Amino acid sequence: MIFPILSLIMLAPVIGAVIILFIPKDRNDAIKTVAAASAMVSMLLSLLVVFAYNRAQGGFQFTEKASWIPSLGVSYYVAVDGFSAPLLLLNGIVLFCAVLVTWNLTDRAREFFAFLLMLAAGVFGAFMSLDLFLFLIFYELVLFPVYVLVAGWGSGPREYAAMKLTIYLFLGSLASILGLLVIYYASGRSFSFDDMQRGVAAVKDTVALQRTWFLPIFIGFGVLASIWPLHNWSPDGYASAPTAVSMLHGGVLKATGAYAALRFGVQIMPEGAKYWLPVVAFLCLANVIYAGSVAFRQKDLKYIIGFASVAHLGLVLLGICALNVYGLNGAGIELFAGGVMTGLMFSLVGIIYERSHERDFSKLNGLVKVMPLAAVGFVIGSLTAMGMPGFSGFPAEMQIFMGLWSASQTNSLMFAGQLNWWLAVIAIVGVLTILITATWTLRIGRQMFFTDASTPEWQQLPPLTGIEKVAIILPCIVCIGVGILPNSVMNIIEIGVQAMVKSIGG
Amino acid sequence: MSKEFLLTLTWLAPFPPIIAFMLIALFTNKRRSLTTLIAVGGMLLTTVFSFIVFFNVAGDHKLGEAPLRSQFAWLPTGDTTFNVGVAVDPLSALFLFMVPLAATLIFIYSTSYMENDPRYTRFMAYLSLFAGSMMGLVVSDNLLSLFIFWELMGFCSYSLIGFFYFKPSAYKAAVKAFMTTRVGDMFLIMGMVYLYSQTGTLNFYDTMRNEEVLHHLAATPAIIPGMTAAALIGLFIFGGTVGKSAQFPLHVWLPDAMEGPTPVSAMIHAATMVSAGIFMALRFFPLYESAAHVGDTTAFTIIGWIGAITALLGALIAVGQYDIKRVLAYSTISQLGFMVAAIGIGGYVAAAFHLLTHAFFKALLFLGSGSVIHGVEHGHHHLHAHGHDDHASSHDSHNAGHGHDDHAANDHGHTEFDPQDMRNMGGLWSRMPVTFITFTIGGLALMGAPFITAGFWSKDEILGHAYHGMTHGNPLSTVVFWTLCVAAVLTAFYTARQIFMTFAGEPRSEAAAHATENPAAMTFPLVVLAFFALTVGYMNIPEDFEFAYIKFGAIANGFGIDHWLGHFVGGMLPVAEATLPFNSVPVVFSVCIFLLGGFLGLWFYGLKPLKAGETDPVENLGAIFTALNNRLYFDELYRKLIINRLQRFADYYSNNVDKGFIDVFLHAAYAILSDIAEVFRWFDKNIVTGISNLIGDVFRRVGREGRELQTGQVQNYLLSALIAAVVMMVFFLVFQ
């Protein structure tokens, strides 16, 4: 029996949440310490997983498998490959930062942190599950705390936002589940990932089956990745959600959607993917261009970052649509580093909002004097988002566009018997994103931080606390580190991607 | 010296300024003199490294065939890896000479020019990073790391142009520069992606120096019918040059970029930014050529036209400007157009040559104009201090720095004195003699004063190339030749106008009358640059141009560097560029151009210099002048055609599609579902409750509670969701 490191990563927040529920509710410090400690355990263990992953061996590692409901073919089956291991680390980092950013919370802190940890545990579970049944349990498990957290601790029209968010995601997952159930019955009644993959390929009329059911499954999970035009829950949801939830949701939970679409959509039904993804690419392009443009005309800070996260996921999905090593590599880095960046941006906006209670960025000014580190963090986040070389956004975006372009030149992806030359066009139009992102980041960054301090009120805002500084510096290190040495995460993502591309015969 | 040693120095060359940037940013941002030491010291170290490399390889005529190379793996992707490395070949060697030399002089100048600025240390930090990035770009052996430094420079230029960030105009200029060059970068990225997907590498030597790859690219049809992949990749990459080197139609950022402190303008216009664009176009020259070999001249044609249009456009607009730096900015645009046009007609060496000479005389002119502005401003403050009987305040307001003109002026109640407006100058020749002489030398080089200045030789080489093409039946060369001739006449004219307006006659403002010469730290770089602006051309005088060769080439011959440049840089091309037979016709043209333009300038501005209150003769052009003065309305056009439209587009989507269509649809669906829920509620209230009444109190209470709950929004929603789920399930089953 090997050391069950994956289960521990997932259980640490659960244990934390249980302990928190036993702490008297007036002992806020103890509650937060426990929350931070359990988040840190998960983060460090997932870091260990990334380091200890045997790159020479490849494939799924740290496997834990135990039969659970044999009659239905359900098992407790968790493992990570090169693609999902960094995502665990992503969740660990963002969770840890989210707890730190929420350090000042006093309103029902016990419940808040318990729910937050449950949410994170669900995400950890979703990233490591290789049993579809188990995955869906975790996946649905996440939706509940999100609803409660947004409706209970949010701001603005929070109930509307919480409900909109929940319904969208619920319906999305419903479509996926339906599709996956069909696949389950057709492929030999096992929920295990490897069995399903093999089973689907062995079905007699496999191409027709895959082409029929790929789209509902992919789009269904795509809802969580805010695929256009089903993105509408996201800006509303994030505008109302408390900071920590926006961070986890925008940075990590959306990644779960894209990850699931890739793992249980593309990998199980490669023929369906090859058929549909060149078309789906148009939706993803809309994500990138449309959401980016909307972000640049918004005034509400949280909406801007919300739309930005829609655009960021659009890039990830575009990378997946390329269905080749470059595109998936890019998607992997964008999920990891872009997720950290989204978390950073949400935390900065949250920190500023919490102090100023002003969400219209055009009313903010001169904040660089009050919180210089926030300005630095925002600039780093902006440079990452706009794909500036030297920051993690660049290796991601570069490879995504490279993947799309290469896909347009090869015959491995055909739609209706045609060479899909339009992927090159999509790449050309998609590159506009570096311009669009630069526009809004420069605009709000300048307005918030680098204008004349004309509102004296803002100069009285309390400076950043040491804890908040940690929550800003940590993601900044990731953005720059991955940017300068992309190989630090590429060397593990690449292994997962190579295997994926091989298995889908790309 | 051994190859390894030279390569080590090349690896090290970009680092001292980058390390200086970090040191200053992190540790010495409160200590001015230490900052000066680190910044200038770092730059000097880079200069030493670069010069050792340059002088060791300069004599090697085989360097083009066997460049020094070294690399390591940076990013593995797919089956290949991105390698990052350095290389010394003739082109980069040339830049290893020019860039550090110009940058060092600009650094020395800045220590005096920015001395009193409160954020002096930050300025030096950015300047160091700027120079370090350019060095990195120059020694890069592949497009990927070139692009990294390229973008890093974009960021530095953004920070430096917007250095006076509290001035809205400076900030706007910074954003404009950043965004406009980014438009070009988008094309560059596509070019990178396209090139990589075709060849699997971004290394210059594995692509541009590899016959097989070039043949493959030229033989592959592009996604645009009728074009070869080579031409399209080349054009995408050239898009980056259009942005960075301020070519039409993306030229609008460069004139505004002078909102930054003057040394920054000198950096941007000479040593870094705009040179980088031409540098990259030269790197990809073999691509255009290989496309042309198989008959696809699209790339050359477009490049030639863009260059010619830019050259003419820039020269025209420069005629109608009053701001001393703005004239120079448009002249840079125009001169860059000369270089691009030269590339378009296949004049590789000519373009590189003009890039080199232009860097020296344009750096000289910008630093000279900074000296003028500094002097006039000083005169202005001097005057102002007398009015207040308080001499100390003179120094204080001076402390506010040079870009703070508006602030300084407004703070002290002076309205709108513009120390950069040439109408406020005049008569400075006697007050600032060193600046006058050096500026005039730079101006003569820009005008192309025959035989003695570097600018003449390089401009002549371009014209000679175009003339050769014209006489050999190349229509593009004909267009380029005549356009450049007109542009060159205009160049000579506006430069003469600038020199006479600034220095000749009597002062037209009190400030100009009190202007004084600047300290040696500012004039010394001018003198050094003036030397190069005169002499750097001698190393490429055509050997068979006997008259000039004997007179001037002999000087170069004395050092053994006569016609060095042509042989050396020409070695870059896979097929050696045929040395053009010497032809005296273009030389006669060049001389006449100088004489005509210079004469016009002398006639209108030199013989009777403008007096205070007099109207500038060019204003007699009426509507034409207004259009030129307003920069041919490019900014207004772009604002109207593109920016406003984009904003409307975004607004439209945000209001109508997102909040309108999608949400309306959603809410309508919700309304329908809640109507259905209302039916259920009615059912529940009247039927279920009725039945439960019959059954008993317990059940009735349950029923009532359920009903009450159901009026809440949450229940409605969940119920709607459930119904939707059932509907979908039925749909999918039927579908199946």
Query: Is B641 a domain residue?
Result: no
pLDDT tens for each residue of B254-279: 888 888 888 888 888 887 888 899 99
pLDDT of residue A257 exceeding 70, the answer is yes
| pLDDT the model gives residue B580 | 65
pLDDT of residue A1 exceeding 50, the answer is no
Q: What residues of B are in contact with residue A428 (Cβ under 8 Å)?
A: 190
| pLDDT the model gives residue A316 | 92
pLDDT of residue A498 exceeding 60, the answer is yes
Same domain as B288, residue B435 = yes
Task: Give the domain extent around B716.
Answer: 653-735
Whether B152 and chain A come into contact, CB under 8 Å, resolves to yes
Query: Is B99 a domain residue?
Result: yes
In whole angstroms, what is the distance from residue A167 CA to residue B317 CA? 60
Residue A432 to residue B186, Cβ atoms within 8 A: yes
| pLDDT the model gives residue B403 | 41
pLDDT of residue A118 exceeding 70, the answer is yes
pLDDT of residue B622 exceeding 50, the answer is yes
Alpha helix (H) ranges present in B58-167? 90-113, 120-139, 143-161
- Sign of the CA dihedral with A107 first, then A109, A113, and A114 last: negative
The count of structural domains within chain B is 2
| pLDDT the model gives residue B406 | 38
Query: Is B261 a domain residue?
Result: yes
Same domain as B601, residue B550 = yes
Same domain as B660, residue B582 = no
| pLDDT the model gives residue A267 | 87
Same domain as B686, residue B618 = no
Q: What residues of B are in contact with residue A487 (Cβ under 8 Å)?
A: 73-76
Query: Is B642 a domain residue?
Result: no
In whole angstroms, what is the distance from residue A269 CA to residue A265 CA? 6
Task: Give the mean pLDDT of chain B.
Answer: 79
In the structure encoding, which two tokens stand for residue A303, read together? 């909406």
Q: What residues of B are in contact with residue A164 (Cβ under 8 Å)?
A: 666
Same domain as B465, residue B383 = yes
Mean pLDDT for B126-152 is 89
pLDDT tens for each residue of B555-592: 555 555 556 676 677 666 655 555 666 677 878 888 88
pLDDT of residue B395 exceeding 80, the answer is no
Looking up tokens 């004909």 gives B478
Question: Distance from CA of residue A207 to its chain's centroid?
Answer: 30
What does each C-alpha distance from A353 to A472, B303, B344 come to in angstroms? 15, 50, 54
pLDDT tens for each residue of B528-538: 888 888 888 77
Closest residue to A494, CB basis, from B76, B179, B189? B76
Specify the pairing of strand A414-415 against strand A418-419: antiparallel
Q: Are A383 and A442 in contact (CB under 8 A)?
A: no
Same domain as B671, residue B534 = no
Same domain as B432, residue B388 = yes
Q: What residues of B are in contact with residue A325 (Cβ under 8 Å)?
A: 77-79
pLDDT tens for each residue of B451-501: 788 888 888 888 888 888 888 878 888 888 899 999 999 999 899 988 988
Per-residue confidence band for B307, with pLDDT thresholds at 50, 70 and 90: very high
Strand-pairing partners, residue B71, are: B85
pLDDT of residue B230 exceeding 80, the answer is yes
pLDDT of residue A410 exceeding 60, the answer is yes
Looking up tokens 């255009």 gives B288
Same domain as B663, residue B540 = no
Mean pLDDT for B689-699 is 56
Closest residue to A326, CB basis, from B77, B148, B714? B77
Rg (CA), chain B: 32
pLDDT of residue A96 exceeding 70, the answer is yes
| pLDDT the model gives residue A297 | 74
Q: What residues of B are in contact with residue A290 (Cβ under 8 Å)?
A: 653, 657
Q: Are A290 and A432 in contact (CB under 8 A)?
A: no
| pLDDT the model gives residue B308 | 93
Same domain as B663, residue B606 = no
Same domain as B719, residue B570 = no
How close does chain B come to A98, measured CA to CA in Å?
Answer: 28
In whole angstroms, what is the distance from residue B556 CA to residue B355 CA? 19
| pLDDT the model gives residue B710 | 45
Residue A402 to residue B196, Cβ atoms within 8 A: yes
Per-residue confidence band for B45, with pLDDT thresholds at 50, 70 and 90: very high
Q: Are B425 and B505 in contact (CB under 8 A)?
A: no
Residue A435 to residue B728, Cβ atoms within 8 A: no
pLDDT of residue B38 exceeding 70, the answer is yes
**Mutate: best of A159, A160, A169, A170, partner B, most B CBs <10 A:** A170
Residue A435 to residue B179, Cβ atoms within 8 A: yes
Whether B26 and chain A come into contact, CB under 8 Å, resolves to no
Residue B736 to residue A212, Cβ atoms within 8 A: yes
How close does chain B come to A31, measured CA to CA in Å?
Answer: 30
Cis upstream peptide for A229 (omega within 30°):
yes
Residue A428 to residue B73, Cβ atoms within 8 A: no
| pLDDT the model gives residue A332 | 92
CB atoms within 10 A of CB B575: 10
Residue B190 to residue A431, Cβ atoms within 8 A: yes
Complete DSSP assignment for A86-132: HHHHHHHHHHHHHHHHTTT--TTHHHHHHHHHHHHHHHHHHHHB-BH
How close does chain A come to B553, measured CA to CA in Å?
Answer: 45
Per-residue confidence band for B711, with pLDDT thresholds at 50, 70 and 90: very low
User: Which helix H or strand E contains A73, and what residues bound it?
Assistant: none
Q: Are B131 and B272 in contact (CB under 8 A)?
A: yes
Same domain as B105, residue B59 = yes
Of A64-68, A444-448, B697-701, the one with minimum mean pLDDT is B697-701
Question: Distance from CA of residue A456 to its chain's centroid?
Answer: 38
Residue B653 to residue A324, Cβ atoms within 8 A: no
Closest residue to B76, CB basis, from A408, A439, A490? A490
How close does chain B come to A486, measured CA to CA in Å?
Answer: 6
Residues 53-112 of B with CB under 8 A from A: 73-79
Q: What residues of B are in contact with residue A395 (Cβ under 8 Å)?
A: 75
Q: Which of B419, B410, B387 is nearest to B512 (CA)?
A: B419
Closest residue to A435, CB basis, from B171, B183, B657? B183
pLDDT of residue A245 exceeding 60, the answer is yes
Predicted model pTM: 0.80
Q: Which of A398, A309, A402 is nearest to A349 (CA)?
A: A309
How close does chain B come to A4, measured CA to CA in Å?
Answer: 31
Same domain as B363, residue B412 = yes
Which comes out higher in pLDDT, residue A190 or A43? A43
Q: Where are the domains of chain A?
A: 5-503
Q: Quick one: what percent of chain B has pLDDT higher than 90?
A: 10
pLDDT of residue B675 exceeding 60, the answer is yes
Which comes out higher in pLDDT, residue B305 or B537? B305
| Chain A residue with minimum CA distance to B663 | A232
Residue B193 to residue A405, Cβ atoms within 8 A: yes
Residue B148 to residue A175, Cβ atoms within 8 A: no
| Chain B residue with minimum CA distance to A209 | B736
Query: Is B640 a domain residue?
Result: no
